[in-house]
Amino acid sequence: MQSSRILSFLSNKEKLIAEARRFTGSNFRRILRDGHARRRPRPCGLTVHVALNCPFACTYCYIEDMGFKFQQPIKYPLSSLETVYAIALNPYFIPGKMGTFLAIGSISEPFHPAIYENTLSLIRLINEKLGNPIQFSTKMYLNEGVIIKLSEQMKDRSISPLITIVTLKYHDKLEPRTPPPEKRFETIEKLSERGFKPTLFLRPIIPGIIEEEIDDLLEKAYEHGAYSIVVGSLRVSNKIIDRLMNAGIDVTSIIERINKPLKASEQFTIETSKEKKLIREKAEKLGLIYLQSACCANALSAGVPCYSLCFTSKICTKCPNNCPSKLPKADEESVQEVIRFLTFKLVDVEVKGFDIYVYGHFSKKKRSQVKVVLSTIFRRRVYFA
Ligand code: SF4
Ligand code: SF4
What ipTM was assigned to the predicted interfaces of this complex? 0.97
Distance from the CA of 191 to the center of ligand 1, in angstroms?
A: 21
Beta carbon of 311 within 6 Å of any ligand 2 atom: yes
What pLDDT is stored for residue 213 in this prediction?
96
Nearest protein CA to atom 7 of ligand 1, as residue: 61
Q: Pick from 259, 266, 331, 260: which is nearest to 1 by CA?
A: 331
Report whether 160 contacts 302 (CB < 8 A): yes
Predicted pLDDT of residue 157: 82
State the distance from the centre of ligand 2 to the C-alpha of 42, rounded, in angstroms: 17
Q: What is the DSSP letter of 206?
A: -
Give nearest CA residue, ligand 2 atom 8. Answer: 296
Q: Domains along the chain? A: 2-325 (3.80.30.30), 332-384 (3.30.70)
The single-letter code of the amino acid at 350 is: E
Ligand nearest, relative to CA of residue 104? 1
Are 216 and 182 in contact by the 8 Å Cβ rule? The answer is: no
Å from CA of 70 to ligand 1 middle: 8
Cα(198) to centroid(ligand 2), Å: 16
The pLDDT, as a whole number, for residue 201 is 98
DSSP string, 112-145: STTTHHHHHHHHHHIIIII---EEEEE-S---HH
Q: Which residues contact 35 (CB under 8 A, 6 or more apart)?
A: 49, 86
Measured CA to CA, the distance from residue 52 to residue 69 in angstroms comes to 8
54 lines ligand 1 (CB under 6 A): yes
**Among 284, 291, 301, 325, which residue has the most ligand 2 atoms within 8 Å of its CB, making it the best to mutate?**
291
Q: Whose CA is nearest to atom 8 of ligand 1?
A: 61
Q: 20 and 28 in contact (C-beta within 8 Å)?
A: yes
pLDDT of residue 4: 65
Question: Would you say how long the chain is, in residues?
Answer: 385
Cβ–ligand 2 distance for 299 under 6 Å, the answer yes
Q: How many CB atoms lie within 10 A of CB 271?
A: 14
Question: Does the beta carbon of 316 sit less than 6 angstroms from any atom of ligand 2?
Answer: yes
- Centre of ligand 1 to C-alpha 58, Å, is 5
Ligand 1 mean position, distance from CA 113 (Å): 14
For ligand 2, whether the C-beta of 89 sits within 6 Å is: no
- Report the pLDDT value the prediction gives residue 265, as an integer from 0 to 100: 80
Q: Assess whether the C-beta atom of 34 lies below 6 angstroms from ligand 1.
A: no
- Among protein residues, the one with the nearest Cα to ligand 1's atom 6 is 58
Residue 236 Cβ inside 6 Å of ligand 2? The answer reads no
Ligand 2 geometric centre to CA of 310 (Å): 6
pLDDT of res. 9: 76
Pocket test for ligand 2, best of 197, 315, 323, 380 (most atoms within 8 A of CB): 323
* Ordered mean pLDDT values, 10 residues apiece, the chain (385 residues): 67 90 91 97 95 96 93 96 96 96 93 97 96 97 96 90 98 96 98 97 97 97 98 96 97 96 92 97 98 98 97 98 96 94 95 96 96 97 96
